[in-house]
Every structure is written in structure tokens, then in C-alpha cells.
Amino acid sequence: MEVIIFLLDHLSKEEAEAAWDREKLLYLKYREKKEREREER
């Protein structure tokens, strides 16, 4: 999360929001994948 705070300091608001959305999507996809793996067992 430190990375995101760093980005917010150095990017414009729009760029920071786009980066945050990407991070969120990656995290959600990762979590979804983990849950699917757990269900398959």
C-alpha cells in the first residue's frame, strides 16, 4: 500500500485514480481465483 501513497503524491489525480482502479481489479481477480481454488478442493 505504500506504493499507492507514493503514486498519489507524484501523479495527477486522474492518473492516481486509474492506477488505484488497476490495483483494485488485480486484487479482486486474485481473490476470486483463490476462492475458486479453495472450492475445488
Angle between helices 13-40 and 2-10 (to 10 degrees): 160
pLDDT at 33: 96
Q: Is the model's pTM score more than 0.85?
A: no
Mean of pLDDT values over 16-27 = 90
More confident residue, 37 or 6: 37
Q: What is the mean pLDDT of residues 4-16?
A: 70
Distances (CA, A) of 16 to 4, 24, 32: 8, 12, 24
Handedness of CA 8, 10, 16, 22 (dihedral sign): negative
